[in-house]
Chain A
Amino acid sequence: MKNILLIIQREYLTRVRKKSFIVMTILGPVLIGLLYAGIIWAAISSINQKKIEVLDQSGHFHDKFKNSSSYIYEYKKGDIDSLKNTLKQSGADALVYIPSNIFEQPKSVRIYSEKGVSLELQSSIEREIENEIENIKLTEAGITRSTLESAKVKVSAETISLKAGEEKKSSATAASIIGGISAFLIYMAVFIYGAQVMRSITEEKTSRIVEVLISSVKPFQLMIGKIVGVALVGLTQFGLWIILTAAIFTVGGRIMADKVQKAPEALTEMQMSNMPPEAKEAMKNQPNVADAMPDIMGAVSTLPVGTILLCFILYFIGGYLLYSSLFGAVGSAVDSETDTQQFMLPITIPIIASFAIAQIVIRDPYSPLAVWASMIPFTSPIIMMVRIPFGVPAWQIVLSVGLLIAGFIFTTWLASRIYRVGILMYGKKITWKELGKWLFYKV
């Protein structure tokens, strides 16, 4: 036991003190922060108003284009050719030409510009013109826009989960997001840290230090010590990532507070101008994003946060233990990392499959597929984490965790049988049959 602790300590400390660990741990959140800052900055800085000249020979569109934070429209009169020539001197960015026969030839609208016209400007002008023509034609047919509007009814359902007699507002969106994020984190952790266990076992084998070590400790102790050590590294790294990310977003948020306040407006405006008119209408009718935020936050608070957190840690550790011991077995069987491919595939398939199944489960967390996949230890760490935010009966969680524990006891046993033989087996091309035999070797 004392030796296992020593091994855990070494595995943990050597990893945590590595430069690459420190860099990754600090840089990860900083990169995410920078990415977001970059997006926000780009959104803010792109708001410089452009001056657009409009020559409307049809006479229907005067003052119909609305000035916005992005575009200022100026209505001109005169000859298109002379305006084209004076476009550069006037300082305008573009010239929109609407001919008098626009109703007959809707494709005759022209936009002239020195630097080329952005798709955004083009589509927004097209839409304005379409809208206006629609209005005019509606009026001619005797229908007003308000009549049309009142014919469109927007339905929005509030989801309410009935549980233990109490009605709770639940948010399927919040649940999917939380479930998706936790599943992704577990998926990442299994791959990152499982591969670390594998690599470091192969390293010990090829550097032959293992022979010295197992004359002091049992192979099983060595394997378990390594797996636990790396698990602690993983928990440390994830913990630091979460803390640092939160810190960066809080601090960054304060610094950019006033700019950020404008940013959502700018962002929504940008998004809206790219949307088809129906969606734009819908957006206008909906409470804006900022108003919606408390709703989502409120929904999050109705989620079983304690259960989610506890289960995340349980499935994080369980899933990691299950897979890392298998990764470890592969690492012990081969002579170099390049030989791992053929053995890696059967291990990675269930992980990738469960991530794929997760996409389906998010849509229907109570389907038989979801229930079964959340019971099988090889898929449960990812699938169950997707389901939990939607609310899962306690007996299912208990059963699933129980099966997961049984699962990793089994894989650890399996791995240790292969490991004890593998680490002393050099220069042999290993086959699946060979691995199978090792299970029953007497050592």
Chain B
Amino acid sequence: MSDNILEVKNVVKNYASHRALDHVSLSVPKGVIYGLLGPNGAGKTSLIRIVNQITGPDEGTVLFDGRPLAENNIYDIGYLPEERGLYKKMKVGEQLLYLARLKGLTKDQAMEKLKEWFVKFDIKTWWDKNVEDLSKGMQQKIQFVATVLHQPRLIILDEPFSGFDPINANLIKDEILELKEKGSTIIFSTHRMESVEELCDYIGLINKSKKVLEGKKSDIKAQFKPNTFSLNYTGQLNGNSATFKVQKSSTNMEGLSSATLEALPGFSSNDILKELVDRVHVTSFHEDVASMNDVFLKSVKL
């Protein structure tokens, strides 16, 4: 047993013309939602395929729950690929039964679980429909069910919200949170930073085949905080100051001004505020935080 459900150690993967993963190491703690981020072509899919044992690493090891990844671990993992697909001419119910049984469930177990999900998503009438008769969003729902039906300990979702309308995206989001609640770990690969902001506890970022950063989302955001403050005030904020530098300021029609202040080395928010109180009338003051978007852009540019 281990605290990490998944540990990737020094994994290297070469393809004919390029190196897709270059000594990448990641640890995914149990029971979290882990955002696997990176620009297109960074190596995310290669890494996910290795974890799914679709391909093997050229170097390095992958540990699942402390033990080297073994063949029967496929039953512990549920994978929703970015490029979705189902058998078009097969009935929804049969298809889900088939996929569930390939994941090690017996027919009865699979039936029972399927019934729950069909009630939950209110799709009971779909059982005997051919997949090709469903809309794209409906098919996505079916695929999501297929991914999580066998209650895997590790769920890997590649862009799970693409193709969903806001209502269904919310539905899926709630399901993801509920799965986490029930003890599953979710690896979540996406380009949509707002959903990372909303859902992820941990983050790993890969760029150009290498790991760039990894850790708790809050820690990373603190690490990337811009060390600036937003200020709204009335009065005049002219001349130099001892504790901060004005990055930009503007005044609106009613005479209310706003400014972005950069702290000078060695001074905290309290020091700045003390100085401000003497010079202007402060209406609001708060420290700026790094958005995931900033984190992403900054670390990819590095």
Are chains A and B native binding partners rather than an unrelated pairing? Answer: yes
Query: In the complex, which residues 189-221 of chain A have their Cβ closer than 8 Å to any Cβ of chain B?
Result: 204, 207-217
Q: Enumerate chain A residues within 8 angstroms of B101, measured Cβ to Cβ.
A: 6
Question: Does B99 lie at the interface of the complex (its beta carbon under 8 Å from any beta carbon of A)?
Answer: yes
Residue B199 interfacial (CB < 8 Å): no
Contacts of A212 in B (CB 8 A): 79-81, 85, 99, 143, 146-147
How distant is the Cα of A437 from the Cα of B16 in the complex, in angstroms? 9
If the complex has contacts A3-B102, A216-B102, are A209 and B87 also in contact, measured as CB distance less than 8 A? Answer: yes
For the complex, give the distance between the alpha carbons of A313 and B98 in Å: 31
Contacts of B80 in A (CB 8 A): 212
Q: Chain B nearest CB: distance from A266 CB in Å?
A: 49
Q: Is the CB of B213 closer than 8 A to any CB of chain A?
A: no
Q: Check A207/B79 contact, CB under 8 A, given A212-B146, A216-B99, A217-B102.
A: no
Cα of A212 to Cα of B49 in the assembled complex, Å: 11
Q: Are B99 and A215 closer than 8 Å at their CB atoms?
A: no
Please tell me if the beta carbons of B83 and A208 are within 8 angstroms of each other in the complex: yes
Q: Do the beta carbons of B88 and A6 come within 8 Å of each other? A: no
Using CB atoms, name the residue of chain B closest to A14. Answer: B90
Separation in Å of the B31 CB from the closest CB of chain A? 22
- Indicate with 1 or 0, residue by residue over B179-200, a CB within 8 angstroms of chain A CB atoms: 0000000000000000000000
C-alpha gap A210/B54 in the complex (Å)? 11
Chain B 217-258 interface mask (CB, 8 Å, partner A; 1/0):
000000000000000000000000000000000000000000
Give A208 to B103 CA distance when docked, in angstroms. Answer: 18
Instruction: For chain A, give the interface size range.
Output: 20 to 34
B29 at interface, CB cutoff 8 A: no
The answer to whether the Cβ of A248 comes within 8 Å of any Cβ in the partner chain is no
A208 touches B84 (CB 8 A): yes
The contact size tier of chain B is 20 to 34
Cβ distance B84 to chain A, nearest Cβ, rounded Å: 6
CB of A443 closer than 8 Å to a CB of B: yes
Q: Which residues of A have CB within 8 Å of B86?
A: 207, 209
Contact B83 A10 (CB under 8 A): no
Q: Which residues of chain B are near A133, meaning CB under 8 Å? A: none
Which of A10, A207, A215, A442 touches B77 (beta carbons < 8 Å)? A215
List of B residues within 8 angstroms of A207 by Cβ: 85-88
Contact at A208–B102, with CB atoms within 8 Å? no
B85 touches A210 (CB 8 A): yes
A101 to B290, CA, bound (A): 121
The reply on A409 being an interface residue by CB < 8 A is no
Chain A residue nearest to B77 in the complex (CB): A215
Minimum CB–CB distance from B73 to chain A (whole Å) comes to 11
The answer to the question of B174 belonging to the interface, with a C-beta cut-off of 8 Å to chain A, is no
Q: Are A215 and B52 in contact (CB under 8 A)?
A: yes
A275: Cβ under 8 A from any B Cβ: no
Considering the complex, give the chain B residue whose CB is closest to the CB of A207.
B85
Q: Tell me the complex Cα distance, A204–B86, Å.
A: 8
Q: Is the CB of A208 within 8 A of B81?
A: yes
Contacts A6-B102, A212-B146 hold; do A443 and B55 have CB atoms under 8 A apart?
Answer: yes
B74: Cβ under 8 A from any A Cβ: yes
Interface centre among A14, A212, A437 (most CB of B within 10 A): A212
Q: How far is the CA of A14 from the CA of B58 in the complex (A)?
A: 38
Contact B85 A211 (CB under 8 A): yes
Asked if B99 and A211 sit within 8 Å, CB to CB, the answer is no
Residues of chain A lying within 8 A (CB to CB) of residue B74:
215-216
Point out the residue from B56, B77, B79, B99 that lies within 8 Å of A443, measured CB to CB. Answer: B56
A125 on the B face (CB < 8 A):
no
A299 near B: Cβ within 8 Å?
A: no
Contacts of B83 in A (CB 8 A): 208, 211, 426
The interface of chain B, by Cβ under 8 A from chain A, is: 16, 49, 52-56, 58, 74, 77, 79-81, 83-90, 98-99, 101-103, 143, 146-147
Identify 20 new A-B residue pairs, CB closer than 8 A, beyond the known A204-B87, A215-B79: A6-B102, A7-B102, A10-B98, A207-B85, A207-B87, A208-B81, A209-B87, A210-B85, A211-B79, A211-B83, A211-B85, A213-B99, A214-B54, A215-B53, A216-B74, A216-B103, A424-B49, A426-B83, A442-B56, A442-B58
CB within 8 Å of B: which residues of A?
A: 3, 6-7, 10, 14, 204, 207-217, 424, 426, 437, 441-443
Selected A-B contacts with CB under 8 Å, 30 pairs: A3-B102, A6-B98, A6-B101, A6-B102, A14-B87, A204-B87, A207-B86, A208-B83, A208-B84, A209-B86, A211-B54, A211-B81, A211-B83, A211-B85, A212-B85, A212-B99, A212-B143, A212-B146, A212-B147, A215-B52, A215-B53, A215-B54, A215-B79, A216-B99, A216-B102, A217-B102, A424-B49, A426-B83, A437-B16, A442-B58
